[in-house]
Structure 1
Amino acid sequence: MTDILARPEAGSELRPIPMSDRNGVLEVLSMRRDPFKFADEKLVRYGNVMGLNALGVRMVTAAGPAAASEILMNKEKAFANAPAWSYFIGPFFNRGVMLLDFDEHRHHRHILQAAFTPKVLKGYMDEMQPMIADRMQRFPTGDVRMFTELKQITLDVALEVFLGLELPEAEADRINKAFIDTVRAGVAFVRKPVPGGRWWKGLRGRKILEEFFYEHIADKRATATPDLFSVLCHAESDDGHTFTDEDVVNHMIFVLMAAHDTSTITMTQMAYHMATHPEWQQRAREQAFEFGESLTYEDLGSMDVIDLVMRESLRLCPPVPAQPRMAIRDTQVQGFFIPKDTMVVVPQMSNHRDPEIYSHPNMFDPERFSADRAEDKAHRMAWMPFGGGVHKCIGLYFGQMEIKTIMHHLLRNYEWTVPAGYEMPMDYSALPVPKDKLPVQVRRRS
């Protein structure tokens, strides 16, 4: 293996990128096992920018907020989303908004915006609030796997608010399993449809989801209802453009995946930190009682305690741990030469623990987001759990609305604890989830 990626043209002031001297697959395995240790070791050995060859791809990791800004703001249009994300999830989330670029991306996002305006979000809130309130009254007590329960609730919300459908339990389970299989397929080592493997399961899951959405699309086009599925069927840009059936199906599969998994991961992290820091659970609970049992859309902006907990949880464990891009021409990052067809990765999970930005970066400290400290304001890319640039998550306000509403009812009605000294074991092989599903003791408040 060469010790540099490629040399720039003679006379260029750009530097060549240093390459890992380890086997690329072993490096990827090491990164998945402990992304923070991996990042620290590479930073010491190579600096902020380093490369490796793995799985048939030459890959550059560019750490730090300055590099993130160059790549994600993409002022020279040298980087593209689709060829990078397509390598991981293309067959499973084909032509979702994250897998489009430039004019086409702008066109689709413009129509999609109609599904996430404040007026439409208020409609989702009106649909979501009573359903979540009812569902949380039936939250289990005793020994509970918090991740499993929260995942089921986010699925219930997705079916109600995104699909507007009441499905039999067996059908809901089938759709949920299809989503799980499609998400996990993206990080498969064997990237061929070998029966029983992750890739094969992902392709099967995608087919199930396509058939499901196509089966219901005619009804959704016939009558306008408040759910996202119907909104996308009727969405229209200012110049009269609408989505085809194929567009609607592609966007529904992608958006439902994005909302379902990221919200679950965020709430699981919040529940964990509020269990290991009960003073924050109590602070959040006290504020929850300052609002009524039923939240309004206008209440959300005043819930500053749960907002601090959410922001710090997203800092310590962003649900999407990295942002890949593909160089579509020779370019540079931080003075390093990036040849065309190189995948460049922004590692926001490790960036979020940059000691030059965050004091005691491994510590749970929600006050770092308070107005008088505002550590996240040190750089526009210091805190970026929703990505950045033109591809910043379009559903971020919906996600925060859902998370705050669920946690509001959990705090008002229940208390939860973990044993002293418990540390949640994490699986970073795909999206970051707890290996043990976060076992907690839940007690209903009288």
Structure 2
Amino acid sequence: MKRHILSNLKEWKNSPNRKPLILLGARQVGKTYILKQFGREEFDNMVYVNCHNNPFVESLFVDFDIDRILYQIELQYEQRITVGKTLLFFDEIQEVKNGIPSLKYFCENKRDLHVVVAGSLLGISLREEESFPVGKVDNLRMYPMTFDEFLIANGRDMLADCLKALDKEMLAPHHETLVEYLRQYYFVGGMPEAVLTWIETHDPSATRKVQQSILSTYNRDFGKHTKTEAERIRMVWNSIPAQLAKENKKFVFGVVKKGARAAEFEKAIQWLVDAGLIYKICRISKPEEPLQFYVDAMCYKVFMMDVGLLACMCGARSKVMLLGMDVFSEFKGAFTENYVMSQIKALEICDGMDNNIFYYSKDSSPLEVDFIVQGRDRVIPVEVKAEHNVRSKSLSTFINQEFSSYALKGLRCSMLPFATQDWMENIPLYATEAYFNEEGLGASE
């Protein structure tokens, strides 16, 4: 299946300043698949070293003599490692002691060799006793498949190209088709195995089983902590559907456990964020650049990394998800807000790109703007509308009254086609990724 990150891997390959590359992401988002595809398409040969339960690798990093390490790999895999022609790929690098620190020495002593590693954020966050090679590696982040990639996986490449170009005139006749695919995406989500199962079978039960298996894998990873901390991580994780079902989606510790205090669960929340399983966005006090200056770190919202896993976690019935329009407003619009968040977040693939998304609210009033996004040239207040009633009262108050001197133009993501007014424009939900890529959040392809 085609993934947009392949173009970023090609840019890394051709960069004269490249360092060993770490492709990070939560488990099962497709890191191994895309790096193997990259190796096949872009190099004369690829040497693939799987570090999981591999006795050979256990003895490989006894020291950081890179020439010895490379020679041992050549002998083991019966392949020559040639600078400029070979991709050396260490998979599950976090599974082996000294694997991650060794990248510093590849950078210093074999900079011209193309070295990539895949590691789950879960695993790397568990190796706290090892030093991370800061400044000696390049990083890319990989996320679940976006709606655009879901279209391509379904064989709708031309429709995806049209969407990416935001060709409103050409898209207009295909509005209902795109809504139907979006409905499917809400159920399937973007985990590659779930997408592949859906495409091959169109069987909701088979797709849901894949999602349940992925969730079980994450649950087992929680158990790698102490009993107390693992239980707290599970409690936070399991509370997310209920957090999103609230009218005000600000994270409330009382939903995790009655009488809970922030100090009990903040470490668990941060671990889930670091693992890439949840996204956390903070409230800001005003929409002034740089937005990070106006963060209220005590107030935040939390989202799942994948809308399909969210549907699975909360037990949403396939009939409700796949038939009719109820899915878009079900669960107080939580699926739709989570969907929009995941599409914007997936554009943050490089270091330094993860301070773009916030939200706004006031304790003294019900005024709330779902997302405040810092684009390349402007601040974008975003209101997400899942129901047919799309009156944007909060967005209008925010732009035309609360911060009228800021000359902001708002964005409404809804089920309606493209439209624009002086103070606000509307885009259909299926155009979220394309719109924010155009606004400068994503790397150009």
Under a length normalisation based on structure 1, what TM-score does the superposition of the two structures give? 0.24
Could you say which structure has the greater relative contact order, defined with CA pairs below 8 angstroms and 6 or more residues apart? 1
Greater strand percent: which structure?
Answer: 2
Greater helix percent: which structure?
Answer: 1
Under a length normalisation based on structure 2, what TM-score does the superposition of the two structures give? 0.24
